[in-house]
Amino acid sequence: MRLLGQDSHFIVLINNLEAINNMTTTTKINGLDMDQFNGTVEAIKNDPTLARFQWRAQNRWVDGSENRTKIKGFYGAGQEDTSRAEAWEFVNGEPPVLLGSNEGANPVEFLLHALAGCVTTTFVLSAASRGISIESISTTLEGDMDLQGFLDLDANVTPGYENIKVKMDVNANCSDSELDELIEYARTHSPVSQTISRPVPITIERAAVAAA
């Protein structure tokens, strides 16, 4: 009888633990915490100033075509972020044909990386908000450029990409029309996509020099 009593108490304990677990279980779609997402959306609706973010980067020239960028702090949700213990460092380089030694991907290739990452994240988040589960996404990007503009050899050639083509191979539990809607949403709502597809003011100036 004592063992039976212990078993009964054990069963009650298990049931209680399961109940607690069910109470604290979050809804996740595509690896994203939708409870947190919905809470963020509601918080911004109540206070739009929380949507203001400032991203930052610091770059240092090393030698030749090599320079390095560190990224750590940013401002967002009404405060300075302190979640990152260490900065990330990214190495910018060039291939030998452009006087480099393949120290790293070059800046215009990093732009493709940034575009791919932002479009993918926007796509995944939008799909999750619609209850669409994604099994896989593979994206390829190509950008065409004429260096005559960069080298100031032809005034009629604009420096930079002439066009960028993004192809997304997506496997998800939705119809083709829903996939097309998600892709269009990603194109029109990805911050990186919208930054490079419309005129954005860029100011480049000398840093202030401290008085002697």
pLDDT digits (tens, 9 = 90+) for 80-125: 999 999 999 999 999 999 999 999 999 999 999 999 999 999 999 9
Q: Which residue, chain included where needed, has tokens 């054990």? A: 10
DSSP, residue by residue, 115-153: HHHHHHHHHHHHHHHTT--EEEEEEEEEEEE-TTTTTTS
pLDDT tens-place string over residues 47-70: 999 999 999 999 999 999 999 999
Maximal C-alpha separation, the chain = 95
pLDDT tens-place string over residues 25-49: 568 999 999 999 999 999 999 999 9
Residue 123 belongs to some domain of the structure: yes
What CATH code is carried by the domain that includes residue 144?
3.30.300.20
Q: What pTM was estimated for this model as a whole? A: 0.85
pLDDT tens-place string over residues 113-133: 999 999 999 999 999 999 999
Residue 86 belongs to some domain of the structure: no
Residue 181 belongs to some domain of the structure: yes
β-pairing verdict for 58-63 and 79-80 = unpaired
Which residue segment(s) compose the domain that 111 sits in?
A: 105-199
Q: Per 3-state DSSP, what percentage of the chain is helix, strand, and coil (rounded to 5)?
A: 40, 25, 35
Task: Write down the pLDDT at residue 17.
Answer: 46
What tokens does 117 get? 């990452």
Task: Write down the pLDDT at residue 7.
Answer: 52
Residue 11 belongs to some domain of the structure: no
Work out the end-to-end distance of the chain between its first and last CA atoms, rounded to an integer number of angstroms.
89
Q: In the structure, what pLDDT confidence band is assigned to residue 5 with cuts at 50, 70 and 90? A: very low
Task: Write down the pLDDT at residue 18.
Answer: 53
Residue 5 belongs to some domain of the structure: no
Percent of the chain with pLDDT strictly greater than 90 = 84
* Residue from 73, 59, 182 nearest 120 by CA: 182
Residue 150 belongs to some domain of the structure: yes
Task: Write down the pLDDT at residue 190.
Answer: 98
Percent of the chain with pLDDT strictly greater than 70 = 86
Indicate the length of the chain as a whole number: 212
Question: Above 70 in pLDDT, residue 183?
Answer: yes
Residue 176 belongs to some domain of the structure: yes
Residue 82 belongs to some domain of the structure: no
User: Considering its fold, how many domains does the chain have in total?
Assistant: 1
